[in-house]
Amino acid sequence: MLLQKREIKAVVLAMLIAVGLCVHSNRAHAAEAQELVVAGGCFWCVEADFEKVPGVIGAVSGFTGGKTANPTYRQVSKGNTGHFEAVKITFDPDKVTRSSLLNLFFRSVDPTDAKGQFCDRGASYRTAIFFSDTAEKDAAEAVKASAEKALGQEIVTPILPLNTFYAADSGHQDYYKSTALVITRFGPRTKAKAYKLYRKACGRDARVRALWGGDAPFAGQS
């Protein structure tokens, strides 16, 4: 009887250890999510594009690259903050690689334009890629060189060190799928509808298709 009790305890202990290892493994896997910060003009568009990509966990619109702490959307839009409209993309590297996302990024913007993107002009609307370490910088430079060769034109998108990323206010998150109403020149519209009208009027997809042709991954999907 004593032996049986010891055997039972040993089995229970082994099961608890196995469960603990499984939980630890799951937590470790979840902790492996990585982030990529890019600027591609209107952050609503970048967010909308990349949240469609399998392996992307989420995307947050915000600002980075400048010196103004906790900037507002209005401050950045007016200029002089040094910030770019940017998006922080969180992804599972087991499902999509950083290089794959960077390839998609270059083919979703006009990387030959140093003064803004499409109808949005000014420093805050320029393209950029931000890196946190040497490995991220090297990956960005390699993809940039490959994209430049594929495009056959000079790419002016800078690769910059990432400082603080400031998330935009909640009203600018998930704009492309929000049912909240806003006033547009066409009258009251949901943010989702206003976004589609803006994207078409701004000529984003038309310009990307003109540059990249069939390699444009998101054009016409908004």
Residue by residue, pLDDT tens for the chain (222 residues) are: 444 555 545 444 445 445 454 444 454 455 499 999 999 999 999 999 999 999 999 999 999 999 999 999 999 999 999 999 999 999 999 999 999 999 999 999 999 999 999 999 999 999 999 999 999 999 999 999 999 999 999 999 999 999 999 999 999 999 999 999 999 988 999 999 999 999 999 999 999 999 999 999 998 776
Q: What angle do CA 199, 93, 39 make, to 5 degrees?
A: 30
Active site (annotated) includes residue 42: yes
In this prediction the pTM is: 0.85
The catalytically annotated residue of 42, 45, 119, 202 is: 42
